[in-house]
Amino acid sequence: QSVLTQPPSASGTPGQRVAISCSGSSSNVGNNAVNWYQQFPGTAPKLLIYNNDQRPAGVSDRFSGSKSGTSASLAISGLQSEDEADYYCAAWDDSMRGMFGGGTKLTVL
């Protein structure tokens, strides 16, 4: 059971906006940066959003992140078929351990 809670699945049609939530506590999301990772089957995860709302170079501006209190959210606008992947939130916990969300499988209908 993951400490960070994500919905197991999300879906949308091409062009739509989809949001994926990540809920934690005051010792992780509430007090540390939230990062988001994208993973395609059979490949290593890729950093998508860091420090709550920052995009690494090369990541499309269709991806955005936000955080409020002990919850964070990843939004994908202008949904495309190539966005179909698994998405994970992650945050350090003040108990000196790393935390990942359980992951959200995004389906583009």
Rg (Cα) of the chain, in Å, rounded? 13
Strand, helix or coil at 74? strand
> Smallest distance from the beta carbon of 70 to other proteins, in angstroms?
16
The separation between the first and the last C-alpha atoms of the chain, rounded to the nearest angstrom, is 28
Interface with other proteins (CB under 8 A), residue total 26
Residue 82 sits in the site that holds other proteins (CB under 8 A): no
Q: Is 88 in the site for other proteins (CB under 8 A)?
A: yes
Categorise residue 51: left if φ over 0, alpha if ψ from -120 to 50, beta otherwise.
left
Residue 29 lies near other proteins (rule: CB under 8 A): no
Question: Applying CB under 8 A, does 35 fall inside the site for other proteins?
Answer: yes
Q: Rule CB under 8 A: which residues touch other proteins?
A: 2, 32-33, 35, 37, 39, 44-47, 50-51, 56, 86, 88, 90-92, 96-103
